[in-house]
Amino acid sequence: MSRDSEHKPIGTIRTPCPYCGFKTLDDEASFCSRCGKPLHTAALLVRRRERAEWLEQIQELGTPGEARPTPNAGELLHRMKADEHADMAENGNADLTESDSGSQQQSKKRFRRRTMAPAYAEASVSADDADNPERVRRRRKLWLPPALALLLSVILVIGVYWQDSRTNTRVQNLQKQAERMALDGNYSTAEKLLQKAADLRPSSTGIMRDLDIVEQADRLDEQVKEAADQLESGQLEQAEGALRQAQAAIASRQERLFEPVRSRIATEGARLAVKRISKELEQLDSVPELADRLQRLRGIQEADAVQLRQRILDLIVETGVANAEKLIKSRDFSAAQNAVNEAQNHAGAVQPLKDMTERIKAEREEFERKEQERIDSALQYAYNEQLQNRTAAVQINDVTVSRDGSGNMVVSGQVESKATRGIHTVQLEYKLVNEEGTVIGAGTARTKDKATIEPGGKMEFRDVHSPIAGNASVFITKVSWYVE
């Protein structure tokens, strides 16, 4: 027995805590004053009853009564303290073990002592209670009600704990199922599962919070589905407005279960972009505009987007070829090649653009060849024209020689312009020859002074020569003129 137990006053019983070993001063205490754990177990209740009976026997030692065997007070006190140490050893407290309790034989003796009836019981049964069996039965029945009450309490606690554990397990399973459904985008099923969990645990703030989040995600999902229906019916403006609202509502949400909604918004946004661009293609007729729509489709991997992207590329090629053909007709080959190069920057070196490049090259070479021929022809024509204007601009018609009333020789005739430009001041030098071929005179005939003869025009010329004898013929030896 420890030193503290030896000096403890007789009659004061300290109940040790079965958890921390602390001994409370109040024998009637229900909870430990140090750790707060319950002190009343079935064994403690029985022992307390025994100790109460021992105290009752001790108090009867000094009271005169009938002649009966008197219990040994020292033995009763010794057994009470030994039983108290047995309680402490049973609950794992080594402080209350006796100094000489190291051997295994003494531990077995103490265990047998705890299972034996108390000393006062042996004395009482042998003397007083032998004549009063009813009292013995009454004493034995005193421990039954508290023991049954304790047993029922334990059964009730175990039942409540088992039911609570089962409910917790079911709630956790419902939450896990709801999480899987929500992450798969099946918010309505997740909402039903969480509602079942909330019915089982109506006071759980976590379940109610999860249920509220799932309801919000479900509303956003329904809004996105409505926008998808509007896209199918061609209501692009309404669908765009609904998607913008859903995007704004989900922008600040970081929960994982909003990922399916975010993914649907992205998908419907891509569909909206595809439909809008497809509708705009009818009004586009330039490569830069088509290239801008092609850029908007970059990163969209839907089947409709892939088909629309190919359609835009085909339109870029067709537009580039058409623009090049127009420029070829206007003989602007450089601009035509630029149009082809612009289309190639977006559509690549596809065969139609390659063919158009070859065509532009051939058309350019043919045009340059013909242009050179034209230039050469023009130069030749200009040279011929210049030569004609300088050497063959005048044709002489109806040259005659006659005499006037005074006997003078009159040389006259007509000049016709063969020049390409106007000429004036035509001078014709002539000689007069007699019948023997001898020159008998010469002179110069002129047209009207400063009178212009247009190309193809005609004008008279005339000159009067002094009289000569005999007949004479006239020969034009030189013609000169001025070209305007």
> DSSP letters along 430-480, please?
EEEE-TTS-EEEEEEEE-STT-EE-TT-EEEEEEEE---SS--EEEEEEEE
Structure tokens at 8: 């403890």
Nearest to 47 by CA among 21, 31, 27, 30: 27
Instruction: State the pairing for strand pair 423-433/439-446.
Output: antiparallel
DSSP 37: -
The b-or-e profile of 315-354 (16+ CB within 10 A means b, else e) is bbbebbbebbeebbeeeebeebbebbebbbebbeeeeebe
Q: What is the pLDDT along the chain (484 residues), one digit of tens a residue?
A: 333 433 444 444 555 676 777 776 555 566 677 777 666 555 556 666 666 676 666 655 544 444 444 445 455 556 555 655 655 555 444 343 333 334 344 444 443 344 444 433 443 444 444 456 666 566 656 666 777 777 788 888 888 788 778 888 888 888 888 888 888 888 888 888 888 888 888 878 888 888 888 888 888 888 888 888 888 888 888 888 888 888 888 888 888 888 888 888 888 888 888 888 888 887 888 888 888 888 888 877 777 788 888 888 888 898 899 999 999 888 888 999 999 999 888 888 889 889 999 999 998 999 889 888 888 888 888 888 787 778 788 888 888 888 888 888 888 898 888 888 888 888 888 888 888 888 888 888 888 887 888 888 888 888 888 888 778 888 888 888 888 8
CA distance 77 to 368: 139
Contact of 96 with 16, CB cutoff 8 Å: yes
CA distance 40 to 114: 18
In the CATH scheme, what is the code of domain 392-483? Answer: 2.60.40.10
CA distance 259 to 236: 24
